[in-house]
Amino acid sequence: MFQSRRTPHLRQTIYVVGILLLTFWIVMAGLNSKTQIERIAERGTLRIATLNSPLTYYVDRDQPQGYEYQLAQSFADFLGVELEIEVATDPKRLFQKLDSREVDLLAANLVRLPQRDAEHRSGPIYRTESLVAIYRVQQGYTPPASITEALDMKIEVLVDSGESSFLTDLIETKFENQLDGSNTLKVRELTNANRLDLLTRLQNRESQLAIVPASIWKSYASYHPELGLAFELDAKLPISWYFGPSQDESLIERAELFFGINQTQELLVKLESEPAPRSNPLNYFDTTAFREGVEQRYTELRPYFAEAAAETGYDQLFLAAVAYQESHWRADAVSPTGVRGIMMLTEDAALDVGVTDRTDARQSIIGGAKYLRKVEAKIPERIAEPNRTYFTLAAYNIGFGHLEDARILTQRAGDNADLWSDVAKHLPKLEQEEYYSTTRYGQARGNEAVGYVENITQYQRILPTEALLADIRKLQIEMPD
C-alpha cells in the first residue's frame, strides 16, 4: 500500500493547530468568565452614551455639566473608575451604541417603556417626567387647552422617545376609531434631531405644537420668549438607565446599590432643585439678536477667542461677551468716535498692543484681550474678583480716569470705593454737572458704563447655552439621515 511521506508532518500540523485552538478557547473562556464589573474595573473606565441637553449633558465654560452627567460621574466614582462619554444625536442612535457594545449603559433621561424593556435591560427608576405641549405665541391666537383640542394640528415629537410612545398609545386607545378619518391626532416623529430642535422648529413656524418633557421646557423657556405652554399632558413617565447586553447582572446590581445609598439620594434632590442652565436675563429682542449673532458669527470666531484666552489668561467666554457688547462680533464695526473692529479699539490702543489692522478679526480679538490686561494692571492690587473684573470693564468702556473719578465720588458719599456695587451707584453722577465739575476728568457716560458691565455679565452667562444650541443645530444639518 502506498503511504505518503508527508503523513507524520500532517499529523504534527494537526496536533499544533489543535493545541492552538484549545489554547484560544481556554483564553476566551477565561475572558468570558469575567463579570461586566470586572471588565470595567480592568479597563478603568465606565462608558456611557447620552444626549446634548440641560437634563443630560452639555458644556459650560469648558466644563461638562448636566443632570445625567453629574449622576453618571458619581456612579463612576462609586465604581472607582473614570467616566467616558459618547454623545448621540437622538434616542435611536443611543440604543444602536448600546447594542453594538460601544458603551456600558445609557444615561439620557430615558423613559422606561415596555418595548424598550423587551429588548434591553433597564435599571432602577430614579425620577419621573411630565410632558407638556408647547406652541408659538401669536397675537389673537388661543392655544389648545388639551390634546383633544389639538386634533388636526401639526404636532411634533422626537423619534423613539417617551413622548412618542405615549402619543402612540393615546392614538391607539382614544383616536384610532374616528369614523371618517378626520379630527385625528396627527403626530410627526423627528429623526436625527433633539428636543431643542423641536422648539426651534416651533419658533420658525415649521410646526404648531411640540410635545417635550416638562424639564426641558422649564430649562429653556426663558430662551424662547416667543413660545408658550399650551397644556400639560396626563403623563408621569418613569426614568431609568439602560444597560448593554451581558450574561451577568453585575453592573445593574452595582447601579441598584448606587441608587440606594444616601449620598445618591441627596444628589438627586440637589439635581432636581438646580436650574440648568440658568434662566435667560435678556429680553425678547436681545435674545433674538444674540442668538442670530451666535449662529452667524460667533462659531467662526470661537478659535480666535480660544487663542486670545490662552495668550492672556482670560476666560474665552468672557472675551466673547466683551466682543459682542462692543461690536456684536462684526469685524467691520465702526463708531462715530473712530474706534473700530470686533473689540472696538482706538488707533492708539491698537498700536499699543501691536494690532496693525483693526478690522482683522484675529488681530482685534487678541489685541483687545491684551489691552484689557493693560487696563486691569491699573486697578489697585487689593481689589479682588469679581470686583476687579467689573472695574476693568468699566475702565475699558469709559477710561480709567473716569472710573477713578467715580470711585472718589463713592468715597465722598461714605460708600466702599473698592466694591463695584457701590461704585455703580455713583458712576451715573458723572453725567451731572454738579458732580462732574468737581472731578479731575470731567463729564462721562456713567450710566452707559454700568449697563456695559451688566450686559457683558449677562452675555457671558447665556453664551454657553446659545453656543450649545447653535452647535447642535449645525450638527443636525451636517449629519446624514
Give residue-wise pLDDT tens across range 15-34: 655 666 655 555 454 555 78
Burial label for 448, CB within 10 Å (0-12, 13-18, 19+), is middle
DSSP 8-state class, residue 479: S
> 98-113 as b/e, with b when 16 or more CB fall inside 10 Å?
beeeebbbbbbbbbbb
Output the CA–CA distances (angstroms, integers) from residue 455 to 323, 324, 340, 460, 462, in the order listed: 11, 10, 20, 8, 11
The bridge status of strand 237-243 relative to strand 105-111 is: antiparallel
Q: HSE-up of 470 (CA within 13 Å, CB side)?
A: 19
Is there a contact between 79 and 40 (Cβ–Cβ < 8 Å)? yes
Tell me the three state secondary structure of residue 278.
coil
Q: How far apart are CA 476 and CA 469, in angstroms?
A: 11
292 labelled catalytic: no
Contact 294, 463 (CB under 8 A): yes
User: Mean pLDDT across the stretch 393-421?
Assistant: 94
Supply the mean pLDDT for the chain.
Answer: 85
Measured CA to CA in angstroms, residue 232 lies from 113, 130, 235, 236, 280 at distances of 20, 8, 8, 11, 23
Please check the confidence at residue 417 and state whether its pLDDT lies above 90. yes
- pLDDT tens digits, 84-138: 999 887 788 899 999 999 999 999 999 998 889 988 999 999 999 999 999 999 8
Q: Are 327 and 452 in contact (CB under 8 A)?
A: no
The whole-number pLDDT of residue 3 equals: 46
Query: 61 falls in which pLDDT band (50, 70, 90)?
Result: very low
Task: Give the C-alpha separation, 79 to 41, whole Å.
Answer: 8
What span, in angstroms and rounded, lies between the C-alpha atoms of 373 and 59?
Answer: 26
Query: Distance between CA 399 and CA 452 in Å, rounded?
Result: 13
Q: Point out the catalytic residue in the list 68, 129, 156, 326.
A: 326
Q: Could you give the CA distance from residue 129 to residue 89 in angstroms, rounded to a whole number?
A: 20
How do 209-213 and 187-190 pair as beta strands?
unpaired
DSSP state of 111: E
The H or E element spanning position 9 is helix 7-32
Dump pLDDT digits (tens) for 189-244.
988 777 877 887 888 788 999 999 998 888 778 778 789 999 999 989 999 999 98
Q: Which of 316, 164, 162 is nearest to 238 (CA)?
A: 162
The verdict on pTM exceeding 0.85 is no
- Please answer whether residues 400 and 378 qualify as being in contact, where contact means their C-beta atoms are separated by less than 8 angstroms: yes
Q: Which residue has the higher pLDDT, 33 or 254?
A: 254
What are the residues whose beta carbons fall under 8 Å from the beta carbon of 369, sequence distance 6 or more? Answer: 308, 309, 311, 312, 314, 319, 343
| Burial class for 364, CB neighbours closer than 10 Å (0-12, 13-18, 19+) | buried
Contact 223, 466 (CB under 8 A): yes
**CA–CA distance, 230 with 210 (Å, rounded to integer):** 10
C-alpha cell at 338: 473712530
